[in-house]
């Protein structure tokens, strides 16, 4: 059996009881170590808690060396641990498909992830649209395909969850080109960098999917002992020191309920200013009034 086990967001004890029981009966235990990190637990602490050796699985092992992870999983139990929920990243669905193709049984044990814990900021989960990922820009690579998804969400009034990039065990372009197995230090995108990149792409696109005055919520270290939330505009949070990782951001949609707004006000320094920003943003993105087709024909 291959077990895909969600670890939750922060503590070693966030794993479910069923997940822990499965880990303890597995012959090998892998920890996926490139889409997220467990903020309040080290590898050594996990190994002591599980009573098992834990093998770190980087991107290369998961995406190119999955045969090693699946080795003998048809005759013994193997655990693949994922921070958050196992299906928070598409690469894990690929591992499941490979296992099933090899005739290996798969069991998934779910847990909390940023996709549902984001509700801690007070925004209602069913008012969220498409989630996007913000990657680190380089001088020559500034992808903006996510911009259209934000625009689609905003057109129908929905909030947008922005997942911020992390780089763990990544090679520089030069080292990759030369075949040198030298890895860059870990990097975690900050709220301010994310907001700066949002503003840069809006300035480039000029389609006003959002503006510098669009209200957003910064979510830092979600589910950890130092969880912090901060509400403001994109322009304001471009200068916000969000502290230690991990971070995510929510771009508010036009359909921000009064109860949602009241909850957000506890996370802003100037309540009146933030309320005004939300109301102005709602007005700015309000759809044009519907006009019956026959009236449009008469105008033509």
Q: What is the pLDDT of residue 176?
A: 56
Question: What domains are there in the chain, each with its CATH number?
Answer: 2-112 (3.40.1010.10), 115-285 (3.30.950.10)
Report the pLDDT value the prediction gives residue 76, as an integer from 0 to 100: 97
pTM of the prediction? 0.89
Pair 284, 211: CB distance under 8 Å: yes
DSSP 113-149: -HHHHGGGGS--GGGB---EEEPPP-SS----THHHH
Residue 66 in marked binding region: no
- Please say whether the beta carbons of 240 and 217 come within 8 A: no
Q: Do 261 and 275 contact (CB within 8 A), yes or no?
A: yes
pLDDT for the residue numbered 298: 62
pLDDT at residue 284, as a whole number = 84
Whole-number pLDDT of residue 250: 98
Does 74 show up as a binding residue in the annotation? Answer: no
- Reduce the DSSP state of residue 86 to 3 states and report it: helix
Are the beta carbons of 267 and 121 closer than 8 angstroms? Answer: yes
Paired strand residues for 8: 84
Looking at residue 59, what is its pLDDT? 79
Supply the pLDDT for residue 181: 57
Q: Is 85 annotated as a binding residue?
A: yes
- pLDDT, residue 37, reads 85
Report whether 164 belongs to an annotated binding site: yes
Say whether 9 counts as a known binding-site residue: yes
**65 labeled binding residue:** no
Digit-coded pLDDT (tens) for 104-118: 999 999 999 999 999
CA distance 219 to 196: 16
What is the predicted pLDDT for the residue at 296?
59
In this predicted structure, what is the pLDDT of residue 10?
Answer: 93
Q: How far apart are CA 269 and CA 174, in angstroms?
A: 44
Residue numbers in the chain where pLDDT is lower than 70: 169-184, 295-300
């Amino acid at each position: 059996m291959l077990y895909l086990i969600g670890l939750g967001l922060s503590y070693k004890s966030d794993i479910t009881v069923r997940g822990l029981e499965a880990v303890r009966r597995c012959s090998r235990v892998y920890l996926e170590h490139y889409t997220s990190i467990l903020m309040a637990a080290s590898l050594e602490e996990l190994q002591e808690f599980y009573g098992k050796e834990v093998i770190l699985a980087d991107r290369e092992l998961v995406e190119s060396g999955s045969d090693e992870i699946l080795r003998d999983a048809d005759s013994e139990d193997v655990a693949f641990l994922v921070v958050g929920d196992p299906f928070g990243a598409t690469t894990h669905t690929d591992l499941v498909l490979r296992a099933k193709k090899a005739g290996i049984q798969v069991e998934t044990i779910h847990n909390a992830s940023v996709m549902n814990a984001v509700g801690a900021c007070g925004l209602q989960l069913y008012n969220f649209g498409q989630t996007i990922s913000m990657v680190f820009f380089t001088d020559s690579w500034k992808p903006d395909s996510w911009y259209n998804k934000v625009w689609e969400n905003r057109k129908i009034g929905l909030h947008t969850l922005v997942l911020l990039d992390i780089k763990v065990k990544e090679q520089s372009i030069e080292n990759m080109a030369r075949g040198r197995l030298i890895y860059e230090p870990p990097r975690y995108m900050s709220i301010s960098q994310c907001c700066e990149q949002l503003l840069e792409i809006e300035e480039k696109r000029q389609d006003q999917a959002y503006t510098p005055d669009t209200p957003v919520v910064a979510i830092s270290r979600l589910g950890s002992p130092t969880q912090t939330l901060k509400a403001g505009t994109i322009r304001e949070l471009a200068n916000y020191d969000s502290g230690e990782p991990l971070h995510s951001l929510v771009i508010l949609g036009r359909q921000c309920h009064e109860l949602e707004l009241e909850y957000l006000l506890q996370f802003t320094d100037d309540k009146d200013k933030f309320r005004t920003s939300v109301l102005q943003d709602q007005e700015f993105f309000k759809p044009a009034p519907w006009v019956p087709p026959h009236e449009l024909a008469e105008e033509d």
